[in-house]
Structure 1
Amino acid sequence: MYSPLFFIVLHGIFLVCASNAWSSLKSIPRKTIQYEDNNVITFKGEGVWNYSTMLIREDLGLLVVGAREAVYALDIKDISVAKSEVLWKVTEEKQKECTSKGKHPDIDCRNYVRMLHQMNDSVMYMCGTNAFSPTCDYMTFGDGQLKLEGKQEDGRGKCPFDPFQRSSSVMADQDLYSASSLNFLGSEPVILRTSPISLRTVFKSSWLNEPNFVYMDVVPESEDSPEGDDDKVYMFFSENAVEYDFYNKLVVSRVARVCKGDMGGQRTLQRKWTSFLKARLDCSGPEPSLPYIIQDVFQVRHKKWRKSVFYAVFTSQSSSTDRSSAVCAYDVTDISEVFSRGKFKTEVTVEMSDVKWVTYNGELPVPRPGACINNAARSAGIMRSLDLPDKTLQFIRDRPLMDDAVRPITGKPLLLKRGPLLTRLVVDHVTVSDGQSYPVMFVGTENGYVQKAVNYDGEMHIIEEVKLFQNAESIDVLRLHQNQLYAGSASGVVQMPVSNCSRYSSCLDCVLARDPYCAWDVPSQRCSRLPTSPEDGKSNLIQSLKDGDATRCPTTAPMEPKILSLVLGNNIRLPCYPESNLAQVNWNFPGESLPYPKKKYIIYNDGILLYNASVSDAGRYTCTSVEQVKGRDYTQTLAIYDLREQSAVVVTDKIKTTLGILPEIHTTSSGLHKSEEPPWYSKTQSSESKWIVMQVALAMLSVMMACLLIWNLYMGHISPFMCCGRRQLIKSPRSLPEREYMHTGNDAVDSKQHMVSLCVTTNSGLEATSFHRNANKGDTPTDVCVFKYITDESEI
């Protein structure tokens, strides 16, 4: 029996291995470009939102963009130029009908263009949600104008009802393949082919179980096929798994395919797919977790289809705050192998209640279920799917799920990233100076960034991330065309070049970026775009992608220090901006690295802050960055500062200036001029300087208040003796003014008089509380208080 110590050690080993696996796949972009510096081209229609569909018309030089109730034809070279637009609004009747079903009138009950396809040189096919009533129409572009044909068709199964539900489609030989829903509630998912012979999937959970469709594309597998195989349409989606026993619904990622030549069955599976097969997609990280969920796919096509690759973005389905994303790549031949030679799963009943899915080990019907019509089938007299025997069709009707999962090419993700989730991706193949070709991935995120990444022999390197949108909004669509990247979100469309080599300011920065598009041009001494032909100027370019070897870079001249004045008691900020997020920034002060045992230094990303500067802080501060690539350290000096003590007289002048006191006037040979500000002067004062100024101001204010008080005492406006608030204490009754209070009977007059209480204190030391003119004659009050009204302010 194992001891607890054994399990603790085993768990620790597992954690170390998982940590090493995560760290080996870098997820930190080397350079971050903020929105203010992205230098992109943007487009946004007035009052139009949700730019989620794009169609590249290279023949017309257009980027056709579908949004909410609008379609735009943008210049593909400069999308800020809108050549034409067409509005496709919802009718008032449709909007009322949608609202009556409980949908939001301004959000759900609009027409979101969700599908755009080119049918031929002159006609495009488009579909929109149309207030939860999917509708399709034809659109043309002629004489520089977009035009809707007005030939509306039912869009159920082609376009989703819900504008925020995922769907996918592809046009092949003018046949539309689509994956969407057939009903208002979205509970009848379907993979549909709209053609003279329309086909769809079967309404069974073993076929589609609450799917979320992501991507669809064609692979021409009939080309150079010795088996005489058919072309395939592949679709990617996620759905609730039927093959796992789980306490809750478990979502898994799938890849499915159908044959283009499929015509359905004769009796079984009439008007249904006879070639529909699906398999699980595996893309898991080093840590045990729930299966990652597929979000987007991009096919990198090759002249030889067997070398084509599908790249896919996955996100974790864990509810924890530590979210992560992954990118996996799949070989087309590996997917095809699972469908053509893999085992099937079948459902069995256990204890007359539960249904389990297990591996099917029985004999397979002939022809193989789900296979396309090939030479072997034709030799047996089966020329089309209508000729397939019922035994084969019944098998595929009940068992469309494969037992084997499709594994990624490398056996693990190409990219693992924690933080904001990845949403969309496109991939470009770049041929570099050494003649090799590398796939460069452009991945969109949920907070509006695009990351450029490339895999060098198993090492994923994120070159940069660029913030495309000012707000943190999700990137909903990405397209790539002739070195230009197009991105769409809820607020607009952005166009950016795949590379901007001018961002790399030095040879070291250019080479260590390991950007396949860029190389350091030695004659011009700048980082420039790699020539289209690798032989052009090859000897004059410095580029090292796999190794990041920058030893060939020329030696740069030493950096001159920047002289700054040290103001005693001030806070001093010394900026230092590293060129790479992967570099470690170091500060050095006369022979020692900072921070050393002093609490007055704060080192942050863009510099260092020195608190309460003293004489001992004078000296030279050097900021360097160290970036490690393939075990080599590259050190670069970023900034040098010389702090020199400043005279205290300058501090006094600064306080005078702050208080508004005129500076001294000095006479020179050229005449009178205002004394110059010291070189260290800055409009942003330190907190210590502000405190000194505040103390001086308070002192001056106190002096002024004292002078004011003395002046009022001298003028007699204020008596040094106070009694009962505003009552004045007098020594003798003789000092009382003769005019006493008299009631005039006129309220207006009485209200204008100001009442003053004058008190006389006798030897008794008691204060009278009242005085009446009709007091008893025999009573001689010892204390007299006289209440008078003063009508003249001079009497105060």
Structure 2
Amino acid sequence: MSPLSALGVFCGLFLPLSLSEYNTHNCIPRKSVLYQDNMKLFREEGICNYSTMLVREDLGLLLLGAREAVYALDINDISIKKSWVYWRVTKEKQMECTYKGKHAEIECRNYIRTLHKVDDGRMYVCGTNAFSPTCDYMTYSEGQLRLEEAQEEGKGKCPFDPFQRYSSIMVGNDLYSATSINFLGSEPVVLRSSSSALRTEFKSSWLNEPNFVYMDLVPESNNNPEGNDDKVYLFFSENAMEYDFYNKLMVSRVARVCKGDMGGQRTLQRKWTSFLKARLDCSLPESSLPSIVQDVFLLKNDDWSKSVFYAVFTPQSSLSDISAVCAYSVSAIGDVFNKGKFKTPVTVETSHVKWVMYSGEVPTPRPGACINNAARALGMERSLDLPDKTLQFIRDRPLMDEAVRPLTGGPLLVKKGAMFTRLVVDNVLALDGERYAVMFIGTENGYVQKAVNYAGEMFIIEEIQLYQTPEAIRTLRLSSSTGQLYAGSDFGAVQMPLSDCGHYESCLDCVLGRDPYCGWDLSTGICSAVASSSSDTNMIQSLKDGDISKCPKSETVKPENYTLVPGNNIKLPCHPASNLAQVHWLFLGQQLHADAKYYIYIGGILILNASASDAGQYTCESVEQVKSRPHTRTMAVYQLRPHTKAEDVEEASEMTTESPHSHNTPLPEVPQTLEPPLPPESWSVDSRVVGLQVAVALLSLMLLGLVAWNLYKRSFRNRSSENSGAGQVKRLSVDYIQNRTSVIKLLGPTPSHNANNNHHAVVAFKGNGEHHFSPGGNISTMDGLGYIDNESEI
């Protein structure tokens, strides 16, 4: 195929949707919750890589696997360590690993990668063990965590490389794992470890340099009219064979195997007879390359056919910073495997292999299908009974021609910024009687995005910073019974509530937050958890529409009084109620717009070079759009009144006069004068004059300092020859100059930084650059300069 033809096929397969379609999905979190010191954190000095978790609600524990350690933590407060075991490598194993070229202190340690519950209540745990994977059983009884010291070979159950992507699931007492089975990581395998162990065929058409992501079981045998089998689904990415390009192209896949698979009788002995795979489609804007799956979560339903896989995707090009979440129904994936066409390899142009859609006859029973009623009608009760024709077909053609499309036709969520890494999904019952899938998405900089889809509208309720410094989130687990989310990273494990309704201080904020967990309780006047409310009829919640009409009338905001000093720049602070809101400023009831007089920014407004005509009432309103309806909330009211001479006299009196009882008498409230920053883009001729005044003042101070220094040196040189009276005169003159210097006031630019909840820094300068000199401060008439007779000394 020519390069131009290949490019045409590629663009046709992976051309993303138009950017206009994604603009409606490119969400901004409504709230940003920064790191709080009271966050429940667990870490232990010298231990890292807290990346394996097992929630044991029956034991009230979170089992946490790290490097050479497993911890039993209190499920309600993970900062409480109940028990632990250390599982360190031996010196011999570490030296053996080092001899093979691995780093002794990084790779040649024991990283806990597998942690599952088995039927008898024990835990099955595996570690990399210095590139020699080993597994063991672990128990928790009488408050103690113990390894049974019955170690067994972990090859194929746990990766050799501690940093290689891997996935596993325990079904009963059978471990399904997807990893590499050799030291070099070059032989990938999907393995079932049981009495009837099965594995994938070692062929590139089955697995081609894969990165395994996620495995889970779907109980498709429940109430199944076709008598089908339960299935284990696997998500991964790999190098595609079906596209003819000069470089390797990564694609995302979903594969499945049947729980009752026993392998073939002659063909595919001890190999999967039901292994099928298909491409996952999740198009990203600004990228012509296929997106790569990073994590998956199965949101289970009582009706297994309505269960949904949620998957996080990122671009494979480093030039893009867009992540997405796509959803796939189990039934849609099943239709591709059960009814779709197969791809087949054909040889063209001097032994070059090309994959095309298979159009020939498909054997019966259908290749890759589980044993069902149709197969049993043909006398086939086990996979061992399948004919060689069916097995040979699936051995050579495990790939489906059709890709699995997202449930909604495209991504549920598209967001720029820090890449998504992990996700979990909770099924929440709201006051309207509907259930909503709330997604918790971890990022590479340590945040969790909490998002939900309302009738096609993707809405990010809030983003929460879990770590004080950026830490990529490596694992996420949730416990619906305790209402807690657990995140793991290299640094440590963090616990956060699925919702903190206390963040919403007013009815309007609570309802517009559109959080399925929260509602405004009319009886208590607070935003509280829906599940904990004794009477739902007293709660207000409007998730789809954000309707605040039932909220009680909010209290009137009391104005704050400030004094207006003519010529000063006045800053009035105000922050929007949410990241989605815009701030409108009103002066005497009329809306203000940014111009040479008013500088409006996200933290407030600057009134430049204020005059008496600027006195009056300023109102800050936060306007938030929901379903094209504006919701207005008054955030602040300021009353500016002109500065009077009487206030100068009063202030001077307060500064110079103090009564004997003044320490016991509170001072009267004095209106505040604000002197905020002058933004660089608003600098004018006046600001240049002010700058010149600053320079003159600085030079004057330098001159006075030089004079004082020369006087001091001359006094020191002449001290031995002068009498005490003359010495006193000189000391008095120096003191006089220093005292006269101290009354000169220079208000220079003192920078400060103010950050809002969008992390945009606003630089502020205190003072307006004016210089104030005390009366009588004429330097040319200072008495202390009378005896200087040599100007060269200055």
Query: Shorter-normalised TM-score: what interval?
Result: 0.7 to 0.9
Q: Deviation at 1:593?
A: 3.5
Larger CA deviation: 170-179 vs 149-158:
149-158
Which residue number corresponds to residue 47 of structure 1? Answer: 46
CA contact (8 A) 1:447 1:472 kept: yes
In 2 relative to 1, CA 132–653 (structure 1 residues): closer, same or farther, beyond 3 Å? Answer: farther
In 2 relative to 1, CA 390–708 (structure 1 residues): closer, same or farther, beyond 3 Å? Answer: closer
**Cα deviation 1:262-316 (Å, max 9, x = unaligned):** 1111111111111111111111146662111111111111122112111111111
Which residue number corresponds to residue 410 of structure 2? Answer: 412
Which residue number corresponds to residue 528 of structure 2? Answer: 528
SS at structure 2 position matched to 1:79 = strand
Which residue number corresponds to residue 508 of structure 1? Answer: 508
Matches within 5 A, 1:268-279: 268-279=267-278
What is the distance in 2 between the residues matched to 1:127 and 1:707? 77
Q: Deviation at 1:68?
A: 0.8
In 2 relative to 1, CA 270–583 (structure 1 residues): closer, same or farther, beyond 3 Å? Answer: same
Larger CA deviation: 302-311 vs 677-686:
677-686
In 2 relative to 1, CA 387–604 (structure 1 residues): closer, same or farther, beyond 3 Å? Answer: same
What is the distance in 2 between the residues matched to 1:559 and 1:259? 64
Which residue number corresponds to residue 634 of structure 1? Answer: 631
SS at structure 1 position matched to 2:79 = coil
SS at structure 2 position matched to 1:519 = strand
**Structure 2, unpaired ranges of 5+:** 1-14, 680-686, 720-794
In 2 relative to 1, CA 157–554 (structure 1 residues): closer, same or farther, beyond 3 Å? Answer: same
SS at structure 2 position matched to 1:35 = coil
What is the distance in 1 between the residues matched to 2:81 and 2:716? 80
In 2 relative to 1, CA 703–258 (structure 1 residues): closer, same or farther, beyond 3 Å? Answer: closer
2:522 counterpart letter in structure 1: V
1:511 counterpart letter in structure 2: V
Matches within 5 A, 1:555-574: 555-574=553-572
In 2 relative to 1, CA 652–277 (structure 1 residues): closer, same or farther, beyond 3 Å? Answer: farther
Which residue number corresponds to residue 540 of structure 1? Answer: 538
1:249 counterpart letter in structure 2: K
CA contact (8 A) 1:56 1:64 kept: yes
Q: Deviation at 1:701?
A: 7.4
Residue 604 in structure 1 maps to residue 596 in structure 2 = no
CA contact (8 A) 2:561 2:672 kept: no
Q: Deviation at 1:96?
A: 1.7
What is the distance in 2 between the residues matched to 1:649 and 1:693? 29
What is the distance in 1 between the residues matched to 2:576 and 2:434? 31
**Cα deviation 1:447-502 (Å, max 9, x = unaligned):** 11111111111111111110111111111111111221111111111111111111
Larger CA deviation: 639-648 vs 514-523:
639-648
**Cα deviation 1:169-192 (Å, max 9, x = unaligned):** 011120000000011111100000
What is the distance in 1 between the residues matched to 2:502 and 2:664? 48
- The runs of at least 4 aligned residues of structure 1 exceeding 6 Å deviation read 648-654, 668-677, 681-698, 707-716
1:257 counterpart letter in structure 2: R
What is the distance in 2 between the residues matched to 1:402 and 1:460? 31
2:388 counterpart letter in structure 1: D
Q: Deviation at 1:578?
A: 1.7
What is the TM-score of this pair, normalised by structure 2? 0.82
Which residue number corresponds to residue 383 of structure 1? Answer: 381
1:30 counterpart letter in structure 2: R
Q: Deviation at 1:236?
A: 0.6
**Cα deviation 1:367-399 (Å, max 9, x = unaligned):** 111111122222222221112111111111100
Which residue number corresponds to residue 467 of structure 1? Answer: 465
Residue 645 in structure 1 maps to residue 645 in structure 2 = no
In 2 relative to 1, CA 609–48 (structure 1 residues): closer, same or farther, beyond 3 Å? Answer: farther
In 2 relative to 1, CA 619–193 (structure 1 residues): closer, same or farther, beyond 3 Å? Answer: same
CA contact (8 A) 2:564 2:673 kept: no
Which residue number corresponds to residue 243 of structure 2? Answer: 244
Which residue number corresponds to residue 302 of structure 1? Answer: 301
Larger CA deviation: 609-618 vs 385-394:
609-618
Q: Deviation at 1:617?
A: 3.8
SS at structure 2 position matched to 1:621 = strand
CA contact (8 A) 1:55 1:63 kept: yes
What is the CA RMSD across the aligned residues, in angstroms? 3.2
In 2 relative to 1, CA 566–686 (structure 1 residues): closer, same or farther, beyond 3 Å? Answer: farther
Which residue number corresponds to residue 745 of structure 1? Answer: none
Matches within 5 A, 1:668-683: 679-680=671-672
In 2 relative to 1, CA 638–358 (structure 1 residues): closer, same or farther, beyond 3 Å? Answer: same
Which residue number corresponds to residue 33 of structure 1? Answer: 33
1:365 counterpart letter in structure 2: P
Q: Deviation at 1:531?
A: 3.0
Q: Which of 339, 342, 345 lines up with 1:344 in the alignment? A: 342
Q: Deviation at 1:547?
A: 1.0
What is the distance in 2 between the residues matched to 1:307 and 1:223? 13
**Cα deviation 1:483-528 (Å, max 9, x = unaligned):** 2111111111111111111111111111111111111111221111
CA contact (8 A) 2:232 2:257 kept: yes
In 2 relative to 1, CA 266–698 (structure 1 residues): closer, same or farther, beyond 3 Å? Answer: same
2:515 counterpart letter in structure 1: D
1:618 counterpart letter in structure 2: A
CA contact (8 A) 1:663 1:675 kept: no
2:51 counterpart letter in structure 1: S
**Cα deviation 1:29-86 (Å, max 9, x = unaligned):** 111100037x532111222111101111111111100011110000111111110011
Q: Deviation at 1:639?
A: 0.8
Which residue number corresponds to residue 574 of structure 2? Answer: 576
Q: Deviation at 1:686?
A: 9.9
1:67 counterpart letter in structure 2: A
Q: Deviation at 1:405?
A: 1.1
CA contact (8 A) 2:309 2:329 kept: yes
Matches within 5 A, 1:111-150: 111-150=110-149
In 2 relative to 1, CA 436–567 (structure 1 residues): closer, same or farther, beyond 3 Å? Answer: same
In 2 relative to 1, CA 392–644 (structure 1 residues): closer, same or farther, beyond 3 Å? Answer: same
What is the distance in 2 between the residues matched to 1:219 and 1:290? 31
**Cα deviation 1:662-688 (Å, max 9, x = unaligned):** 941244887999998955379999999
In 2 relative to 1, CA 678–148 (structure 1 residues): closer, same or farther, beyond 3 Å? Answer: same
What is the distance in 2 between the residues matched to 1:592 and 1:360? 71
Which residue number corresponds to residue 108 of structure 2? Answer: 109
Residue 182 in structure 1 maps to residue 174 in structure 2 = no
1:227 counterpart letter in structure 2: E
**Structure 1, unpaired ranges of 5+:** 1-14, 719-796
CA contact (8 A) 1:667 1:673 kept: no
1:582 counterpart letter in structure 2: L
Q: Deviation at 1:164?
A: 1.1
2:222 counterpart letter in structure 1: E
Q: Deviation at 1:138?
A: 1.1
What is the distance in 2 between the residues matched to 1:624 and 1:573? 16
Q: Which of 352, 372, 375 lines up with 1:374 in the alignment? A: 372
Which residue number corresponds to residue 454 of structure 1? Answer: 452
What is the distance in 2 between the residues matched to 1:16 and 1:191? 32
In 2 relative to 1, CA 678–200 (structure 1 residues): closer, same or farther, beyond 3 Å? Answer: same
Q: Deviation at 1:704?
A: 7.8
**Cα deviation 1:710-757 (Å, max 9, x = unaligned):** 899999959xxxxxxxxxxxxxxxxxxxxxxxxxxxxxxxxxxxxxxx
CA contact (8 A) 2:109 2:128 kept: yes
Which residue number corresponds to residue 496 of structure 1? Answer: 496
SS at structure 2 position matched to 1:509 = helix
CA contact (8 A) 2:568 2:675 kept: no
2:672 counterpart letter in structure 1: W
Which residue number corresponds to residue 790 of structure 2? Answer: none
In 2 relative to 1, CA 265–698 (structure 1 residues): closer, same or farther, beyond 3 Å? Answer: same
In 2 relative to 1, CA 88–651 (structure 1 residues): closer, same or farther, beyond 3 Å? Answer: farther
What is the distance in 1 between the residues matched to 2:424 and 2:715? 87
In 2 relative to 1, CA 261–61 (structure 1 residues): closer, same or farther, beyond 3 Å? Answer: same
SS at structure 2 position matched to 1:252 = strand
Which residue number corresponds to residue 786 of structure 2? Answer: none
What is the distance in 1 between the residues matched to 2:557 and 2:231? 62
In 2 relative to 1, CA 706–152 (structure 1 residues): closer, same or farther, beyond 3 Å? Answer: closer
SS at structure 1 position matched to 2:146 = strand
**Cα deviation 1:518-577 (Å, max 9, x = unaligned):** 1111122111111368xx523321111111111221222321111122344544332212
Which residue number corresponds to residue 622 of structure 1? Answer: 619
What is the distance in 2 between the residues matched to 1:88 and 1:649? 78
SS at structure 1 position matched to 2:389 = helix
Q: Deviation at 1:330?
A: 1.1
Which residue number corresponds to residue 419 of structure 2? Answer: 421
What is the distance in 1 between the residues matched to 2:350 and 2:552? 78
Which residue number corresponds to residue 82 of structure 2? Answer: 83
Residue identity over aligned pairs, in percent, reads 62
